[in-house]
Copies of this chain bind each other. A is one copy, B any other.
């Protein structure tokens, strides 16, 4: 029942993990109470880094991909959680419209879309695919690696303009799996009668990582108080700079100052915990972006002066050619985890408030201080069978799985809660009660 990947981290539980395990009932109750007041995102994946001395989320994805990399045995967990989510938004739903990214579909992404469709079909919904791409003007078949076919169809607004659907397909729920990094298409605007999930302000056209980590600061602080640990144990320090222009080398002072400040803060923390041999580093990345583009590791602010033109170019533009102006600087959290000798980081998946699975992102050519979400990374499913939920502290040692991954699920849910606060606070049209 213990996943073979437990070998990646089979030492004695770290202090943080022990504290989390011991506080399980308090933690679960706190989450239950929190979800009474805040609505979790429809779905979410969180990249974690386990440094041994700290365990922290480094990226919270509100348009999760790679559902096909979750262990298939655990699929029923996703289906059950999706049932709960559908119950909440649209109990009378017949149809779900999924809007994936279809600009450059690769077989792996198509397999992910197919898995998502399977999950929602298994909740008992009719599921069809709509495309934001103007090139899709009629139902277009796409072959899956396993021989099945997906069909993507053009989106259609209803005659009165109030609803979005496909020809002959009027969905109650519209699920975005497209991060809108190229902007919010007009066809998605002013949808009020249907549940558009996540909302458009979760897309990178509007979303900023720094807002997320501001909300996460708060969540981590409360959590630290709850279980009596330094919130830093679960929180990567961060700062942001707007108005950065890498090409023209404008705004680099802000960046340089913040890098220096952050490195000093981390050094202080290292000193506090007696980790004198550790060398701090920060990660610089676009405040509005994903897919591992434009991300660099910096150990000294001087490195910013010495960036080559190639590095500048890389930093200046992210996915879909959108220029980078807002930058987040995040405490670098090294990963102590390896799978078969390659550096690894856990990625945890959630639907509604439930942890439904996860995998290790593994990169054989990257170091422990580098971003792993980059070409060449592989996914190794975690058998979350015994781990997804909560450990069984009362069981005699050896009679229950060690539940190491429970802790991952807790920290991932801290990020989930932060995302719900973030979405509330950045909502351009907040509901007033």
Stretch in contact with the other chain, from A75-83, A182-190, A205-213, A316-324: A75-83
* Alpha-carbon separation in the docked complex, A81 to B384 (Å): 16
Would A121 and B390 be within 8 Å (CB), given that A1-B72, A91-B36, A148-B395 are in contact? yes
Q: Is the CB of B87 within 8 A of A35?
A: yes
Q: Is A272 an interface residue (CB 8 A)?
A: no
A125 on the B face (CB < 8 A): yes
A-B complex: 9 closest residue pairs judged by Cβ atoms: A28-B124, A122-B390, A79-B389, A32-B91, A122-B389, A76-B388, A25-B124, A124-B390, A148-B396
A195 and B261 CA atoms in complex are apart in Å by 53
- The answer to whether the Cβ of A306 comes within 8 Å of any Cβ in the partner chain is no
Query: Which residue from B24, B76, B121, B148 sits with its C-beta under 8 Å from A124?
Result: B24
Contacts of A384 in B (CB 8 A): 76
CA distance A387 to B398 in the complex (A): 30
Is A201 at the interface (CB under 8 A from chain B)?
Answer: no
Which chain A residues in 302-348 approach chain B with CB under 8 Å?
Answer: none
- A429 on the B face (CB < 8 A): no
Interface range on chain A (Cβ under 8 Å from partner): 35 or more
A157 vs B126: C-alpha distance when bound (angstroms): 51
User: Is A146 a contact of B399 with CB atoms below 8 Å?
Assistant: yes
A29-66: CB near B (< 8 Å → 1, else 0) gives: 10111011000000000000000000000000000000
Number of copies: 2
Tell whether A386 is near chain B: CB-to-CB under 8 Å.
yes
- Contact yes or no, B399 A121, CB < 8 A: no
Beyond A79-B388, A148-B396, 4 additional pairs, beta carbon < 8 A: A28-B125, A76-B385, A123-B390, A147-B399
Do B124 and A396 touch across chains, with their CB atoms under 8 A apart?
A: no
Q: How far is the CA of A329 from the CA of B56 in the complex (A)?
A: 62
Residue from B83, B91, B388 within 8 A of A33 (CB atoms): B91
Q: Mark A143-166, 1 if CB is under 8 A from B, else 0.
A: 000111000000000000000000
Contacting residues, chain B, for A84 (C-beta < 8 A): 84
Residues of B with C-beta under 8 A to A301: none
Q: Which of A109-139 contact B (CB under 8 A)?
A: 117-118, 121-126
**What are 9 pairs between A and B in contact, CB < 8 Å?**
A32-B91, A32-B92, A36-B91, A76-B77, A76-B385, A118-B400, A122-B389, A148-B395, A148-B399
Please, which residue of chain B has its CB at the minimum distance from the CB of A76? Answer: B388
Contact present for A354 and B83 (CB under 8 Å): yes
Q: Given the complex of chains A and B, what is the CA–CA distance between A76 and B75 in angstroms?
A: 11
Which residues of A are in contact with B by a Cβ distance under 8 Å? 1, 24-29, 31-33, 35-36, 72-77, 79-81, 83-84, 86-87, 91-94, 117-118, 121-126, 146-148, 354, 384-386, 388-396, 399-400
CA distance A281 to B336 in the complex (A): 67
Asked if A392 and B122 sit within 8 Å, CB to CB, the answer is yes
Residues of chain B with a CB closer than 8 A to A399's CB:
146-148
A72: chain B residues within 8 A (beta carbon) = 1
Q: Looking at the assembled complex, report how far the CB atom of A11 sits from the nearest CB atom of chain B, in whole angstroms.
A: 24
Which residues does chain B contribute within 8 Å of A77, judged by CB atoms?
Answer: 76-77, 80
Q: Which residue of B lies closest to A78 (CB)?
A: B389
Q: A77 to B94: give the CA distance in the assembly, Å.
A: 24
Q: A146-B399, A386-B75 are in contact. Are A92 and B33 (CB under 8 A)?
A: yes
How far apart sit A79 and B117, CA to CA, in the bound complex (Å)? 24
Among A26, A35, A117, A125, the most chain B Cβ lie within 10 Å of the Cβ of A125
A85 to chain B, nearest CB (A): 11
Q: A113: shortest Cβ distance to chain B, in Å? A: 13
What is the CA–CA distance of A372 and B323 in the complex, to the nearest angstrom?
A: 70
A354 touches B121 (CB 8 A): no
Q: Point out the residues of chain B lying under 8 angstroms from A80, CB to CB.
A: 77, 80-81, 354, 388-389
Q: With A and B bound together, what is the CA distance between A251 and B24 in angstroms? A: 57
Is the pair B393, A121 in contact by a Cβ cutoff of 8 Å?
yes
Residues in B neighbouring A390, C-beta threshold 8 A: 79, 121-124
CB contacts (< 8 Å) of A122 on chain B: these are 389-392
In the bound complex, residues from chain B placing their C-beta under 8 Å from that of A123 are 28, 389-390
Establish whether residues B29 and A93, one from each chain, have CB atoms under 8 Å apart when the complex forms: yes
